[in-house]
């Protein structure tokens, strides 16, 4: 049994939706070939049943030949068994092809979302990205699901046309040309369906984004009493989605009824013409029975062909959405020729603001707005898009971060922002992924983050399963567990953005006193306005409007820089 997801989903061809689909097809051509073979065998064996029945009635019943009747009856049974076997195999291959194409696309989207980071939501709304994963990738797989039946429909149509041609050229021409003409006639029925589905997809994406934003801020909403307000917005947006879904129903019903009506018209035409030929003695009764059966069966390949066209259209639209996500470039990437690694012990510098942090020291960063501090932290960790000039590129040990291998940057400079994430899984794996640290090392880091009480409150200790987003923990507990995680990484430079904003004063004081011991000879940058953390810093850098206003010890800045004092004490001189 093939395991999904793939170890390596490959490098997709993003030049066009068709090229992307063909790229997927090349990777699973064996499964597609198997599905095509059994799809053809399955559908052709069904139409041959009607031929066998016609011969059984014509040769066995009309001429009362018992032996001939038994032979053709055996053929019918054999074809039925072949149909059952090939149908089972066809369905198995169809599901395999559908899942492989869909999950390969989903895997590509997941990896790309992780690689692009903030560049993806900045380019495409989060709701659209979710819909691309949940809907569009599945539609791409739907093309591969129907491919086996579509191949069987094409071959069976040609076989039926061949049977009819052998007996009557006019009947053969009607079937050979009528089927593609009827397929083309369904195209106008598809256009209103696709337009209404596009509108529905857009409003569903907005609803998904609203729901995600509401859930993410639910704790804050409860705190300010805004639940009812957002519930009202969600209900209103849900009504829009419902109305959009109702609008999809009308063209979809018209298309589905057309799939029944158009094939029936062709069957009626063939049946009437066949009956006239029998009356005129151009065809025999045996041929009439066979032709009627083939005409009745013709509705199946015709409907399957129309279904294939619909699936292909939807799949190509889905592929276009998948490509749009995969085409978003990350703000940061490894250069083709990375620079040599800078020496350990150099400084971490942000030329855009002039901020610098030395190795082995705790450097505090103070700004008037949280957004400015986060922007500097993003540049120091190489998470921001490259600036217009070399002056905006942060450097480590005198080497620009954008010239270094990205993996090296992520190893040597770690940024923990103001809202760190916890994921689902055992706490031990959340704090020390891939079992890189012993329990003793984890407990030491927990102590440095003053998170002993968090661990003590858990019945299973480090084996406790963390709920999604760590929602079973308070904001302060999540902050301390996230701090534990980055302290275990022990990078050359650790950049912390408001690491104690959700903890009480006593806990904050303990963290401030233990942080230096935890970091040892490595450099630490703390973006904060907490007096307790600033008091313990070796150097405080005060930045206003992107430029350094003052730098020095905390106490010295309090006495000499009024704007710094006003910001830190917020009018409270006590």
Dump pLDDT digits (tens) for 143-162.
999 999 999 988 988 888 88
* Spatial contact of 410 and 396, defined as CB atoms under 8 Å apart: no
**Burial category of 332 from C-beta neighbours within 10 Å (exposed 0-12, middle 13-18, buried 19 and up):** buried
Q: With 70 as the cut, is the pLDDT of residue 439 above it?
A: yes
The mean-pLDDT minimum among 42-46, 208-212, 330-334, 560-564 falls in: 208-212
* pLDDT confidence bin for 524, thresholds 50/70/90: very high
| Strands 399-400 vs 395-396: parallel, antiparallel or unpaired | antiparallel
* Spatial contact of 217 and 233, defined as CB atoms under 8 Å apart: no
Residue with tokens 């993410």: 216
* pLDDT confidence bin for 109, thresholds 50/70/90: very high
* Spatial contact of 416 and 486, defined as CB atoms under 8 Å apart: yes
pLDDT of residue 529: 92
Q: Where are the domains of the chain?
A: 17-326, 348-569
pLDDT of residue 495: 95
pLDDT (tens digit per residue) in 346-377: 899 999 999 999 988 999 999 999 889 999 99
- As a whole number, mean pLDDT of residues 540-547 equals 93
* Spatial contact of 342 and 400, defined as CB atoms under 8 Å apart: no
What's the CA gap between 439 and 462, in Å, rounded? 8
CB atoms within 10 A of CB 402: 22
**Who's near 455: CB < 8 A, 6+ residues apart?**
443, 446, 461, 462
Superfamily of domain 348-569: P-loop containing nucleotide triphosphate hydrolases (3.40.50.300)
* pLDDT confidence bin for 531, thresholds 50/70/90: very high
**Who's near 504: CB < 8 A, 6+ residues apart?**
476
Two structure tokens written together for 565: 């004092």
Closest residue by Cα to residue 89 from 49, 35, 40, 133:
35
Q: Is 291 helix (H, G, I), strand (E, B) or coil?
A: helix
* pLDDT confidence bin for 574, thresholds 50/70/90: very low
* Spatial contact of 175 and 157, defined as CB atoms under 8 Å apart: yes
pLDDT of residue 58: 66
Higher pLDDT, 363 or 79: 363
**Residue percentage of the chain with pLDDT more than 70:** 85
Please give the torsion angle defined by the CA atoms of residues 49, 50, 52 and 53, in that order, rounded to the nearest 10 degrees: 110
What is the value of pTM for the model shown?
0.71
pLDDT of residue 286: 66
* pLDDT confidence bin for 36, thresholds 50/70/90: very high
pLDDT (tens digit per residue) in 376-424: 999 999 887 765 554 557 899 989 988 899 889 999 999 987 777 778 8
pLDDT of residue 209: 64
pLDDT of residue 270: 75
DSSP class of residue 562?
H
* Spatial contact of 411 and 344, defined as CB atoms under 8 Å apart: no
Q: How far is CA 291 from the centre of its chain?
A: 49
Residue with tokens 């066979």: 290
Domain over 17-326 is classified CATH 1.20.1560.10: yes
pLDDT (tens digit per residue) in 309-326: 888 888 888 899 999 999
Q: In sequence order, which ranges of 117-226 are alpha helices (DSSP H)?
A: 119-123, 126-131, 137-167, 169-185, 187-216, 218-224
Q: In sequence order, which ranges of 298-331 are alpha helices (DSSP H)?
A: 299-326
Higher pLDDT, 110 or 263: 110
pLDDT of residue 331: 81
Backbone angles phi, psi at 387, to 5 degrees: -80, 175
pLDDT of residue 544: 93
17-326 and 348-569: identical CATH topology: no
- Please give the radius of gyration of the chain, using alpha carbons only, rounded to the nearest integer: 34
DSSP β-bridge partners for residue 496:
416, 526
* Spatial contact of 322 and 136, defined as CB atoms under 8 Å apart: yes
User: What region, left, alpha or beta, does residue 398 occupy, with left being phi > 0 and alpha being psi -120 to 50 degrees?
Assistant: left
> Could you write out the three-class secondary structure of 27-89?
HCHHHHHHHHHHHHHHHHHHHHHHHHHHHHHHHHHCCCCHHHHHHHHHHHHHHHHHHHHHHHH
Residue with tokens 């999904």: 4
Residue with tokens 């009504």: 239
- As a whole number, mean pLDDT of residues 16-29 equals 93
pLDDT (tens digit per residue) in 235-247: 777 787 777 777 7
* pLDDT confidence bin for 138, thresholds 50/70/90: very high
pLDDT of residue 572: 54
What's the CA gap between 48 and 50, in Å, rounded? 5
pLDDT of residue 60: 55
| Strands 355-357 vs 539-544: parallel, antiparallel or unpaired | unpaired
pLDDT (tens digit per residue) in 186-220: 767 666 766 676 666 666 666 666 666 555 555 55
pLDDT (tens digit per residue) in 462-502: 888 888 777 778 888 889 999 999 999 999 999 999 999 88
């Amino acid at each position: 049994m093939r395991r999904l997801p793939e170890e390596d989903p490959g490098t997709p061809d993003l030049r066009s939706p068709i090229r992307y689909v063909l790229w997927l097809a090349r990777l699973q051509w064996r499964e597609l070939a198997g599905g095509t073979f059994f799809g053809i065998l399955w559908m052709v064996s069904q139409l041959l049943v009607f031929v066998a029945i016609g011969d059984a009635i014509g040769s066995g019943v009309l001429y009362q030949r018992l032996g001939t009747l038994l032979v053709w009856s055996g053929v019918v049974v054999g074809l039925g068994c072949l149909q059952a076997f090939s149908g089972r195999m066809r369905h198995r291959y169809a599901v395999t092809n559908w899942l492989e194409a869909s999950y390969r696309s989903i895997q590509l989207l997941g990896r790309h979302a992780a690689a692009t980071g903030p560049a993806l939501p900045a380019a495409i709304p989060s709701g659209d990205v979710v819909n691309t994963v949940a809907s569009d990738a599945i539609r791409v797989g739907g093309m591969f699901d129907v491919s086996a039946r579509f191949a069987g429909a094409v071959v069976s149509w040609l076989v039926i046309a061949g049977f009819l041609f052998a007996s009557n050229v006019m009947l053969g021409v009607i079937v050979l040309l009528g089927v593609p003409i009827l397929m083309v006639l369904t195209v106008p029925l598809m256009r209103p369906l696709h337009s209404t589905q596009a509108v529905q997809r857009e409003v569903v994406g907005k609803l998904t984004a609203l729901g995600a934003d509401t859930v993410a801020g639910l704790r804050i909403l409860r705190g300010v009493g805004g639940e009812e307000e957002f519930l009202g917005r969600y209900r209103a947006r849900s009504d829009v989605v419902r109305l959009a879904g109702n609008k999809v129903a009308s063209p979809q019903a018209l298309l589905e009824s057309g799939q029944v009506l158009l094939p029936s018209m062709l069957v009626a035409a063939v049946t009437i013409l066949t009956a006239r030929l029998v009356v005129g003695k151009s065809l025999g009764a045996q041929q009439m029975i066979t032709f009627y059966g083939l005409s009745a069966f013709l509705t199946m390949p015709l409907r399957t062909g129309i279904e294939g066209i619909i699936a292909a259209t939807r799949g190509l639209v889905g592929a276009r959405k998948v490509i749009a996500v995969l085409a978003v470039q990350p703000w940061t990437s490894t250069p083709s020729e990375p620079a040599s690694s800078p020496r350990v012990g150099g400084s971490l510098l942000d030329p855009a603001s002039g901020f610098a942090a030395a190795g082995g020291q705790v450097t505090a960063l103070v700004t008037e707005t949280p957004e400015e501090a986060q922007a500097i932290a993003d540049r120091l960790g190489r998470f921001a898009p490259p600036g217009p000039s070399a002056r905006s590129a942060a450097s480590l040990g005198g080497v620009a971060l954008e010239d270094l291998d990205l993996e090296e940057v992520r190893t040597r400079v770690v940024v923990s922002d103001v809202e760190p994430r916890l994921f689902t899984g055992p706490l031990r794996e959340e704090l020390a992924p891939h079992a890189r640290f012993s329990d003793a090392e984890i407990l030491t880091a927990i102590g440095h983050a003053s998170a002993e009480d968090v661990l003590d409150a858990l019945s299973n200790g480090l084996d406790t399963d963390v709920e999604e987003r760590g929602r079973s923990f308070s904001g302060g507990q999540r902050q301390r567990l996230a701090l534990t995680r980055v302290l275990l990484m022990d990078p050359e430079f650790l950049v912390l953005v408001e690491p104690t904003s959700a903890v009480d004063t006593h806990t904050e004081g303990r963290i401030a006193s233990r942080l230096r011991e935890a970091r040892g000879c490595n450099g630490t940058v703390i973006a904060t306005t907490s007096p307790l953390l600033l008091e313990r810093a070796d150097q405080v850098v005060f930045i206003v409007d992107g430029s350094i206003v003052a730098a020095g010890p905390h106490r010295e800045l309090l006495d000499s820089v009024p704007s710094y004092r006003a910001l830190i004490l917020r009018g409270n001189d006590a």
